[in-house]
Amino acid sequence: MSTQPIGWPTHQREGWLGRLEAGNPNERGEYGDTPCLNETMTLERRATVRQIEYRDAINEAMAEEMERDPKVILYGLDVGALGGLHGVTRGLLDRFGKTRVMDMPISEEVIAGMSGGMAASGYRPIVELMFAGLIGSCFSQLFYTLGFHKDACPNLPIVVRLPMGSEGGGDNALHVHCPESLLMHAPYLKVVAPSNPYDAKGLLKTAIRGNSPVMFMEHKGLYHSTGPVPSEEYLVPFGEALVKRPGNDVTLVSYSAMVSKCVSAADTLHREGIEAEVIDLRTLVPLDEQTIINSVKKTGRLVIVHEAMGRSGPAAEIACVVAEKGFGYLRAPIRRVTAPNSGVRPDFRVEKGRLPQAKDIHSAAMSLIAKDWPQATDRGFERIR
């Protein structure tokens, strides 16, 4: 695998979200803006790799799938003429017309619930809700109607796109909420949360081609982040996490916007002689338990990071899975770095303090490494190694 950056722009966008993209280390051992480690993005395989925005990667995925299959249709608030509140669906109305790209009234219940009937009638709806927090308005539809009926209705090729997360602008609670853990709790919903444009496009294409309801948690704050995306077609499978950066000392598991923060924290740890392994989950349901367990087997220390609130967040589920299936590998307690269990003050100055930053992840990792945790052998039984 080449370690030369292949014509990427020399500057990288560094907003308050921190540096973006990871892959091979530079001469200082830091992971910067080169492609991901596990991705087979060899020069030979790619015709053209472009640096495009996350939101445009999503746009491309939809455009390509709508071109490929006339049954794919898109609807939601302001997706047509406006091109989406954040411009994610720009150009789709002109290209596919108003019978395939439809603006809806502010009726989330019927927006979400209609997808079931459309899927039963042979269409493949992509439903866009304006904010992920609006699942509150149509929770029964998403959770009960779509999430419980795989036995009765095995084919429900529905994608619900849910823009979540903080953009740094100081929005209020509903507009920045990351409700993925609520949706994970339905038996048959898939929950997908890409952290970069490459994964966003590949995961969305997989979602559209699949036959089950997928909750596509796109992060609003990442919409303007850029990353390498080949112009050739590719899909990203569900249930496969990515090791963004290898390491032997501590495992940092995350998804969506926090992945880049984990990478930044790992760089800081590297300068202190500690090698952190950063895992990008990419999909929460199905969860790639094996990659996490393999990593914990190596490092013995786990920090789980997400933007959602801590209590009953996805970290709780992941931690329990590791405690159940990888207990013998743990050398220290599991830590999670999340937003606090509190409300949201709609103030951009306050927002940064509420959300996990690289320094919080760094502290959590250090707390697991620095201290001598009593090991299984100390407690009088064999450690499985």
Partner 1 sequence: MDIPREKLIKMYESIVLSRHLQKKILELNETTKDFSGGIHLRVGEEAPAAAIYATILEDDYVGGHLGGENFACSKGVPLGPFLANMMGRQVPVENRDGAGKARPAPKVALKAPTSGALGDAQCSNMGIAFAAKLSGLQRVVVSVFGDGTAARGPLHECMNLAGLWKLPVVFVCINNQYGISTRVSQSCTTENIAERATAYGMSGLTVDGNDVLACYEAIFDAVKLTRAGECPRMVEAKTYRLSPHCYKTYHGEQGYYEADPEPYRTKEEVELAWQAEPLGRYRETLLGMGVLTQADVERCDLEAKTKVEEAASFAIRLPYVDSANWLANASA
Catalytic positions are: 175
In angstroms, give the least distance from the CB of 110 to partner 1: 4
Q: Judged by CB, which is closer to partner 1: 141, or 181?
A: 141
> Does 187 contact partner 1 by CB under 8 A?
yes
Residues near 367 by beta carbon (within 8 Å), at least 6 away in sequence: 335
Of the residues 52, 156, 183, 208, which one makes contact with partner 1 according to CB under 8 A: 156
Bridge partners for 242 per DSSP: 280
In angstroms, give the least distance from the CB of 216 to partner 1: 18
Of the residues 188, 240, 297, 317, which one makes contact with partner 1 according to CB under 8 A: 188
CA 92 – CA 59 distance, rounded (Å): 8
In angstroms, give the least distance from the CB of 208 to partner 1: 17
C-alpha 5, offset from chain centre = 24
Closest by CA position to 282, among listed 254, 263, 260: 254
Closest by CA position to 237, among listed 260, 214, 221, 218: 214
Q: Judged by CB, which is closer to partner 1: 125, or 221?
A: 125
Site for partner 1 in 47-76 (CB under 8 A): 73
Q: What is the largest CA-CA distance in the chain?
A: 70
Site for partner 1 in 112-131 (CB under 8 A): 112-123, 125
Q: Judged by CB, which is closer to partner 1: 71, or 224?
A: 71
Distances, alpha carbon 301 to alpha carbons 144, 209, 250, 273, 378, in Å = 37, 37, 5, 16, 18
Of the residues 34, 59, 145, 299, which one makes contact with partner 1 according to CB under 8 A: 145
Size of the site for partner 1 (CB under 8 A): 38
Q: Judged by CB, which is closer to partner 1: 98, or 271?
A: 98
Contact assessment for residue 149 and residue 186, using Cβ atoms and an 8 Å cutoff: no
> Does 185 contact partner 1 by CB under 8 A?
no
Q: Judged by CB, which is closer to partner 1: 212, or 225?
A: 212
> Does 109 contact partner 1 by CB under 8 A?
yes
Residues near 49 by beta carbon (within 8 Å), at least 6 away in sequence: 6, 41, 228, 229, 230, 231
> Does 81 contact partner 1 by CB under 8 A?
no
Closest by CA position to 356, among listed 299, 303, 277: 303
Q: Judged by CB, which is closer to partner 1: 88, or 287?
A: 287
Distances, alpha carbon 84 to alpha carbons 48, 247, 325, 381, in Å = 27, 40, 43, 58
Query: Applying CB under 8 A, which part among 100-108, 166-174, 199-207, 307-315 lies near partner 1?
Result: 100-108
> Does 79 contact partner 1 by CB under 8 A?
no
Contact assessment for residue 271 and residue 238, using Cβ atoms and an 8 Å cutoff: no
Over the range 224-251, which residues count as b (16 or more CB within 10 Å of their CB) and which as e?
bbbbbbbeeebebebbebbbbbbbebbb
> Does 78 contact partner 1 by CB under 8 A?
no
Query: What φ, ψ does residue 309 adopt, rounded to 5°?
Result: -60, 150
In angstroms, give the least distance from the CB of 120 to partner 1: 4
In angstroms, give the least distance from the CB of 61 to partner 1: 22
Of the residues 144, 231, 290, 343, which one makes contact with partner 1 according to CB under 8 A: 144
In angstroms, give the least distance from the CB of 287 to partner 1: 12
Identify residue 384 by its one-letter amino acid code: I
Contact residues toward partner 1 (CB under 8 A) are 73, 99, 104-105, 107-110, 112-123, 125, 140-141, 143-146, 148-156, 187-188
